[in-house]
Structure 1
Amino acid sequence: MRNLANTLAYVEYVTATSKLDALPDFAKEYCYEIDGWVMPKLNPKRFLDDLKNYEVRSDDTYLITWPKSGTTWMQNILTLIFANGDMDAVREKHLFDRVPFLEMPQGLDYKKAENDNGLYEIARDMPSPRILKTQLPPPFLPSQLEEKKPKIVYVARNPKDAAVSHFHFCNVSPALPQYRDWNDFFIDFCNDSIPRGSWFENVFYWWNKRNEPNVLFITYEEMKKDLRASVVRVCEFLGKDLSEEIIDVVTENSTFAAMKKDPKSNPDSLPIFKEAVKQKRSFLRKGEVGDWKNHFTVAQNEIFDDLYREKTEGTDVNFTFQL
């Protein structure tokens, strides 16, 4: 376990050196560094190059997040809204097959990703209107997003809970570094050295675009506080005039409990997560606000609060850390 005492000084050191080199040896196997961002080998450079020039359609809906911030949750909501609450229609495919994860390889194997087809290539042939999702950092997003102005739903989660959820997910996905020690993950999170990099840079980029007419910035915490109101807000943004009854159907089938029980919505049913399930680990773990309190030590919390204040100084960014 690495020493926590000088974490903030270490952050400053890492910004001046290679973020990849700062990772523990077990994590380096799964990652590479490009333009100052640590990316998982599951998303090879060839994919990033192709996606930068990806053909965007003006009637697309893009779901964009930092990892473990409510991506799967909103994905389920969007597909139900587009299907007008028709549960039989959406259950013809697993949730992950309804919405292509653009930067992922078809085989979901990080060791073979370089020679695999990207899901973005499959999405090219999808009929409109498409729902597409990505967790690409801002520098690697399709440049045509600015020109074509598709609908963009950005879901943000408070950084403490997002970090804890990402830590646990690293022990669910066979394509990510297998962090066993929370302190190791915490240090790399503060250093922006975990796969897909900085929470701050990702979230602040979209926070600054939240008033653009084609962008809906919504938080995990407001969805948790009032899911039905959040569904209504998404419908209004998309221009979907659904009945009260259909909104109820979307809401009831998008709760954590409902998705957990539905094999067509729960990623645990997919072969890639078979081993994790055997070990009693789940993709849909808790879905709570404030679980960070069960992981952050007093010292870690003080360190992160200092970092958060430094990063948010001069902005009106304000996240909810407990309900």
Structure 2
Amino acid sequence: MIMSVNYLEITDPTYRTSWKKRNQPGFVLVEPKQYWRIPIREPGWKPLPCCLTTRFKNMADEFRAMKVHKDDVWLASYPKSGTTWSQEMIWLICNNLDYEEARKKLLFMRFPFVEINGIADLPGGMDFFKLAQQMPSPRFIKTHLPVGLLPDQIWTVKPKLVYVYRTTKSVIVSYYHHSVTLSNYKGTLEEFTRSFMRDLQMYSPYHEHVIEYHKISQLDNVLLLNYEDMKKVSVKHSFQDLVSVVKRTCVFFNKSYTDEQIAELCNHLSFESMQNNPSVNAQEMVDMLLAQSDRLDERENEDRRFIRKGKVDGWKADLTQELADEIDDWTRSKVKSEKYQKLFL
């Protein structure tokens, strides 16, 4: 198979001297060789290399050549942007609100993370790339990869593609705690943040990830969702106001439900319900990883949960004002367009 990507060594001196101490995987920058099928027609546009683990080399070309089905449903996001929430919502909307089946079957089996074998070593020989390929139609597939590394057939077959995004500071703090919980990251929040601002956390560069999906949002088969919109307080309901997001998603998938059914779905998708739902909260996986790293004593720490706090502006409890201002300044320096700045600030 002809190589579809280039691999670039990371030369950043801080990364090279600290990645083992921080217990990070070895990273490499992955750059697509061809991207002419991607419907971004700006003069001089070129996808930037994406920071991934060296394990991705084992599946990159096979993934880029993956067969895509017209009735596939793909969900893309930068990590910690509301992905799990969106997966559960989309799966239920598309499966006639079958709560019984959703309770019986774990979300990661109903809606597999397709490239996870290319970034992490999984127990028991689990192969989610193979699982996704062998699933009966319609397949529900999650990815964190940027536009430039999606399978080539995404652009010719044109399945439904949903992208969910979240503001920068919330992503950073949530991603840090996620990395500590699942990967036993040993750096500080400030160290994580500064690596993030050098585009050296997995799936970075972050701004380009979000902006490039927005640049294809004019396509009929693409839907954009915003995490903060899902969390706006509703006057009518005791739960957070998912109603408008749910209704927009229903229209996108040509599904129609009564107001009572939508209210029931929103209640199912409330933060408290999701955090306590064993089919989506990944608590068994978290416990296993904590045990493997001799950290079971941290099990009751709310920061050691897969679904952690779910608050808009929850970053304020973790970031100093000085570091928060640095993040905003970094965004303004990288994103000159006011149209796109508002996605992050």
CA distance in 1, matches of 2:332, 2:65: 36
Q: In angstroms, what is the RMSD of aligned CA positions?
A: 2.6
Which segment is superposed worse, 163-172 or 138-147?
138-147
Q: Which residue of 2 aligns with 1:3?
A: none
What's the secondary structure of 2:266's corresponding residue? Answer: helix
Q: Which ranges of structure 2 fall in alignment gaps of 5 or more residues?
A: 1-8, 31-48, 233-240
Contact 1:151–1:215 (CA under 8 A) maintained in structure 2: yes
Counterpart selection for 1:131 from 126, 134, 140: 140
What's the secondary structure of 2:194's corresponding residue? Answer: helix
Contact 1:83–1:90 (CA under 8 A) maintained in structure 2: no
CA distance in 1, matches of 2:184, 2:29: 17
CA distance in 2, matches of 1:21, 1:315: 35
CA distance in 2, matches of 1:277, 1:244: 43
Q: Which residue of 1 aligns with 2:229?
A: 222
Q: Which residue of 1 aligns with 2:328?
A: 305
What's the secondary structure of 2:172's corresponding residue? Answer: helix
CA distance in 1, matches of 2:339, 2:75: 23
The answer to whether the aligner puts 1:233 opposite 2:248 as a matched pair is: yes
The answer to whether the aligner puts 1:245 opposite 2:260 as a matched pair is: yes
Contact 1:56–1:145 (CA under 8 A) maintained in structure 2: yes
Q: Which ranges of structure 1 fall in alignment gaps of 5 or more residues?
A: 1-13
Q: Which amino acid aligns with 2:53?
A: P
The answer to whether the aligner puts 1:77 opposite 2:89 as a matched pair is: yes
Q: 1:244-290: per-residue Cα shift (whole Å, max 9, x none)? A: 23222221111110111211121113364453665131111100110
Q: Which residue of 1 aligns with 2:160?
A: 151
TM-score (norm 1): 0.85
Contact 1:152–1:215 (CA under 8 A) maintained in structure 2: yes
Per the alignment, do residues 224 and 50 of structure 1 end up closer, same or farther by CA in structure 2, a change over 3 Å counting?
same
Per the alignment, do residues 300 and 93 of structure 1 end up closer, same or farther by CA in structure 2, a change over 3 Å counting?
same
Q: 1:92-142: per-residue Cα shift (whole Å, max 9, x none)? A: 20111110110023xx993569x9564121211111111110001333211
CA distance in 1, matches of 2:247, 2:289: 32
Aligned residues: 302
Q: Which residue of 2 aligns with 1:10?
A: none
Contact 1:31–1:195 (CA under 8 A) maintained in structure 2: no
Contact 1:94–1:265 (CA under 8 A) maintained in structure 2: yes
Q: Which residue of 1 aligns with 2:112?
A: 100
- Describe how 1:286-305 pairs up with structure 2 within 5 A: 286-305=309-328
Per the alignment, do residues 209 and 124 of structure 1 end up closer, same or farther by CA in structure 2, a change over 3 Å counting?
same
Q: Which residue of 2 aligns with 1:53?
A: 65
Which segment is superposed worse, 84-93 or 184-193?
84-93
Q: Which residue of 2 aligns with 1:256?
A: 271
Counterpart selection for 2:212 from 205, 208, 215: 205
The answer to whether the aligner puts 1:110 opposite 2:120 as a matched pair is: yes
Q: Which residue of 2 aligns with 1:37?
A: 50
Counterpart selection for 1:26 from 12, 21, 26: 21
Counterpart selection for 1:189 from 196, 202, 206: 196
Q: Which amino acid aligns with 2:59?
A: F
Q: How many angstroms does 1:179 deviate by?
A: 3.6
Q: How many angstroms does 1:172 deviate by?
A: 1.1
Q: 1:221-245: per-residue Cα shift (whole Å, max 9, x none)? A: 0011121111111111111122223
Q: Which amino acid aligns with 1:294?
A: A
TM-score (norm 2): 0.80
Which segment is superposed worse, 205-214 or 185-194?
205-214
The answer to whether the aligner puts 1:68 opposite 2:80 as a matched pair is: yes
Contact 1:136–1:196 (CA under 8 A) maintained in structure 2: yes
What's the secondary structure of 1:62's corresponding residue? Answer: strand
CA distance in 1, matches of 2:323, 2:85: 28
CA distance in 1, matches of 2:65, 2:168: 30
CA distance in 1, matches of 2:137, 2:127: 19
Q: Which amino acid aligns with 1:104?
A: I
Contact 2:23–2:185 (CA under 8 A) maintained in structure 1: no
CA distance in 1, matches of 2:119, 2:204: 20
Q: 1:168-206: per-residue Cα shift (whole Å, max 9, x none)? A: 001111xx3614411110110100101122111110111
CA distance in 1, matches of 2:122, 2:311: 34
What's the secondary structure of 1:59's corresponding residue? Answer: coil
